[in-house]
């Protein structure tokens, strides 16, 4: 596949600690689309230092509508959708360039290596994400606090990884997680139990999930072998699940008060 046929698409909001590293690994791209939600830091200035970047500003409403707006700005056949803290490995860039041009595949999943302060961990709870797809065969839909992409036709999985390397301060992470969990609570409460995954069913119990995620990150994903970086990641995921449990208890208590 010609790299010129791929346009990276990035959503941003106050991503100054991350965006430069991500754009640096996209120097091969003929054009990069950045959809910014009116950042108040130097995100826009950083984007402007890369001549192939086309920046659009749009007030954020949902992830799906923001992504779909971005796709509409892309003129190439293929879209590479990236968060501002997704850094492509050199091996992945080489793999993208070697993809066949005449394939029947319409989308590719990409694996992740989660980083803590720049150090890749042995394992992560992040599943592969369908990040590369044909523009005219894909649409995003909202799913809880995040989004899902629906790609028509066949898909495949790439061999090499993206580094998820978020360098924003902990206060920003806490702010974002609390917002996410409010939306997740709504999803868990409004979705019939038989339509929830087993993981989400455990989360609805409020007590079990935080302890399971701690053990999962440390033991099953090998985080304990990553030293304090692994403990940091495990504590992050534990805290996120505790926030969800607290928000669930809060919502259920309000319901009881109304009754």
CB 121, CB 233: distance < 8 Å: yes
Please, what is the average pLDDT of the chain?
93
CA distance 106 to 135: 9
pLDDT 10s digits, 186-218: 989 999 999 888 889 989 989 999 999 999 999
pLDDT value for 259 = 60
- Which parts of the chain are beta strand (E)? 6-12, 32-36, 53-57, 78-83, 86-88, 105-116, 119-120, 129-134, 138-143, 146-151, 154-164
Residue 255 has pLDDT above 90, yes or no: no
Report the range of poorest mean pLDDT among 27-36, 50-59, 85-94, 141-150: 141-150
Report the range of poorest mean pLDDT among 62-71, 83-92, 140-149, 197-206: 140-149
Mean pLDDT computed over 234-246: 95
DSSP for 213-233 reads HHHIIIIIT-GGGGTHHHHHH
Mean pLDDT computed over 214-230: 95
pLDDT value for 143 = 75
Report the range of poorest mean pLDDT among 17-31, 46-60, 177-191: 177-191
Residue 168: DSSP 8-state: S
Q: How confident is the model at residue 70 (pLDDT cuts 50, 70, 90)?
A: very high
Angle at 217 between CA 213 and CA 222, to 5 degrees: 155
Q: What is the pTM of this model?
A: 0.88
Q: What residues contact 8, with CB distance under 8 A and at least 6 apart?
A: 26, 29, 32, 33, 80, 81, 82
Tokens 């699940």: give the residue. Answer: 241
Nearest to 116 by CA among 74, 162, 67, 165: 165
pLDDT value for 258 = 62
Number of residues in the chain: 259
Nearest to 242 by CA among 189, 196, 178: 178
Q: What residues contact 107, with CB distance under 8 A and at least 6 apart?
A: 130, 132, 133, 134, 137, 138, 149, 151, 153, 154, 155, 156
Residue 83 has pLDDT above 70, yes or no: yes
Nearest to 140 by CA among 62, 78, 31: 62
Q: How confident is the model at residue 172 (pLDDT cuts 50, 70, 90)?
A: very high
CA distance 10 to 187: 26
Helices (H), 51-167: 63-72, 90-98
pLDDT value for 257 = 67
Q: How confident is the model at residue 81 (pLDDT cuts 50, 70, 90)?
A: very high
Mean pLDDT computed over 85-98: 97
Euclidean distance between the first and final Cα of the chain, in Å? 60
Residue 148 has pLDDT above 90, yes or no: no
Percent of the chain at pLDDT > 70 equals: 98
Residue 147 has pLDDT above 80, yes or no: no
pLDDT value for 145 = 64
Q: Which two tokens stand for residue 85?
A: 């803290």
Residue 1 has pLDDT above 80, yes or no: no
CA distance 150 to 95: 23
């Amino acid at each position: 596949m010609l790299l010129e046929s791929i346009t990276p698409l990035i959503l941003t909001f106050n991503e100054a600690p991350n965006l430069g590293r991500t754009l640096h690994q996209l120097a091969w791209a003929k054009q990069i689309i950045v959809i910014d939600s009116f950042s108040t830091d130097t995100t826009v200035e950083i984007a402007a230092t890369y001549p192939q970047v086309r920046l659009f500003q749009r007030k954020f409403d949902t992830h799906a509508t923001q992504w779909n707006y971005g796709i509409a700005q892309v003129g190439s056949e293929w879209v590479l959708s990236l968060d501002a803290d997704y850094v492509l490995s050199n091996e992945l860039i080489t793999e993208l360039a070697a993809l066949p041009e005449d394939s029947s595949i319409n989308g590719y999943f990409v694996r992740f290596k989660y980083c803590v302060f720049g150090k890749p961990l042995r394992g992560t709870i992040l599943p592969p994400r369908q990040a590369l797809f044909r523009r005219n065969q894909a649409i995003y839909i909202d799913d809880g606090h995040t989004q899902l992409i629906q790609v028509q036709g066949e898909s495949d999985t790439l061999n090499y990884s993206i580094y998820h390397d978020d360098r924003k301060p902990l206060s920003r992470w806490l702010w974002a997680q609390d917002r996410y969990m409010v939306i997740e609570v709504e999803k868990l409460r409004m979705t019939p139990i038989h339509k929830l995954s087993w993981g989400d069913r455990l989360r609805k119990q409020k007590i079990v999930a935080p302890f399971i995620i701690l053990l999962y990150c440390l033991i099953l994903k090998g985080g304990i072998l990553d030293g304090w970086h692994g403990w940091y990641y495990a504590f992050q995921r534990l805290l996120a699940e505790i926030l969800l449990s607290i928000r669930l208890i809060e919502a259920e208590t309000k319901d009881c008060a109304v009754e």
